[in-house]
Amino acid sequence: MERTCRLLLLLSTLVYCSLGQGGASLSVSPDRSQFFEFESVSLSCEVQGNSTGWRVMRNAERGNLSECSTDWGKHQGSSCIVSLIPSSSGVYWCESGSGEHSNAVNITVHVGAVILESPALPVTEGYSVTLRCRYQGTPSDLTAVFYKDGSLIRAETTGEITIPAVSKSDEGLYKCSSSKGESPESWMTVTDAGPTPIPSPAVPVLSMSTPIPSPAVPVLSMSLPRLLCSILVGSPYLLVTIILLVKGCRSRTQEYKPETISKDC
């Protein structure tokens, strides 16, 4: 019967978590899902925007739906402080006056000697998580055996195991046992880390450290053979021009006086 009640609580937790959330989240301090009798836990509604009208709600094992401060909690600022007794086991969440609600957390109060300290809130992929088998009192033997979904993980003499980087495959029901007893099972939820942000393309920077060379100015150059060749090619035209000038001067000497010719020539 007790196992059936726990399974129903787990199912109700998953149902609440699958529904849409209204911009609020339930925080649990300390962040674990199992407690010993007479321990205390602080529950707070973290709301984006106006938090007026939000309250902490509970659905106990017996199916009693109620809000904090009616018969099981005490308001302290924006938090609800709960002194835990076995009947405090149940599903907790935040709810607004219009029916919006936050994530749900399953809290178990155990009257035995052993509990499993596992996170009550979802764990993000890639983060490190430590599961600790905690004893009521200080036993000499700290060796604990850990299980996931009913299958043996391993035994640890330190009484705890650490998952360096959790993944979706680590999600499931965990428990521990020792010579002092066995803990209840608790569900550990692992959430997606989300897509890796794509870095912005690098902006090219113009560097002025190295001067940009000016385009080369073409320089006219001519070798000696080409110069002589040009002179030889142009010589006939020069000689013809000189001959024509001389002929012109001679023809004019016959028409004018010598002094006039000398002036003109």
What is the domain count for the chain?
Answer: 3
**pLDDT top residue among 193 and 152:** 152
- 141 with 51, same domain: the answer is no
- 22 with 70, same domain: the answer is yes
**pLDDT top residue among 173 and 54:** 173
Domain with residue 4: its CATH number is 2.60.40.10
Q: What percent of the chain has pLDDT over 70?
A: 63
- 95 with 1, same domain: the answer is yes
Residues of the domain holding 251: 233-264
One-letter identity of residue 22:
G
Average pLDDT over residues 183-198: 86
- 155 with 92, same domain: the answer is no
Per-residue pLDDT tens digits for 207-234: 444 444 444 444 444 444 444 444 444 4
- 19 with 93, same domain: the answer is yes
Q: What percent of the chain has pLDDT over 90?
A: 51
* Domain end position, chosen among 58, 81, 111: 111
89 within domain boundaries: yes
**pLDDT top residue among 54 and 222:** 54
- 20 with 94, same domain: the answer is yes
